[in-house]
Structure 1
Amino acid sequence: MNTYEIIKTLANGRKMTVAELERKLDLSNGSVSKWAKSTPNSKYLEKVADYFDVSVDYLLGRSAKQVEFDLDKAIDNAMSFDGKPVTEHDRKMMKQLWKAYMAGKEKE
């Protein structure tokens, strides 16, 4: 896949179009589509990589693997419904739910 196809796939994963992504990141209309045939400016590529939390190498197709997702770090940043820190019980439940979800995704 080329850079444009990778970005389009990431955008689709967030239920957004490439045009919506361009607007959200303040990129000119059609600029990402042009990346199907040309190399993007690193400044804009970094902006897209930061938005999707992936590496620039991933967007360029140099790395088959996205940036590792750190579940513990994500849970540390989470808050419960009432704004209190996540309890150890909630942490265990969140991990179990995430692992079950990912196991189901692998079967698709």
Structure 2
Amino acid sequence: MIGDRIRDLRNQKRLSQTDLAKIINVSQQTVTKWETGKSEPSSSAINRLADYFDVSSDYLLGRKTPKPKMTVDEAMDTIMSADGKEPTEHDRKIMESIIKAYLDNRD
């Protein structure tokens, strides 16, 4: 997975393996091993790659970017009633208690 990401990013920048190796201070053979899955970059190499390609280390590692978390108050501000009208204050309090109970009891 990480090798595929490195290869794709390198190709997007139209770099040879030798060019990338010089930029991040490793050998061309090391880049080849990463891209073919025969070895994986060290944490310091991942950091240099992420900095150079302007991506996160999570992206290089194939992790999905987590969705931004929304507070209960932010969620409540987006809620509309079923008929498209603003919920009453009473409705908001009930919905808020349901959301909080759900969040407190989920795995």
Per-residue deviation at 1:64? 6.3
CA distance in 2: counterparts of 1:23 and 1:45, whole angstroms: 15
Aligned pair 1:40/2:41, yes or no?
yes
Give me the CA root mean square deviation: 1.9
Structure 1, residues 41-83: CA drift from partner, whole Å, max 9, x if none?
Answer: 1001100010000011111111269xxxxxxxxxxxxxxxxxx
1:1-108 equivalent positions in 2, closer than 5 A: 2-35=1-34, 36-63=37-64
TM-score by length of 2: 0.53
Larger Rg computed on CA atoms: 2
Compute the displacement of 1:6 (Å).
Answer: 0.6
Q: Which has the higher helix share?
A: 2
Structure 1's consecutive aligned runs of 4 or more residues displaced over 2 angstroms after TM superposition are none
User: Matched residues in 1 for 2:39 and 2:52: separation?
Assistant: 21
For structure 1, the residue ranges without an aligned partner over 5 or more in a row are 66-108
Counterpart of 1:74?
none
SS in structure 1 of the partner of residue 20 of structure 2: helix
**Matched residues, number:** 64
What is the letter of the counterpart of residue 19 of structure 1?
T
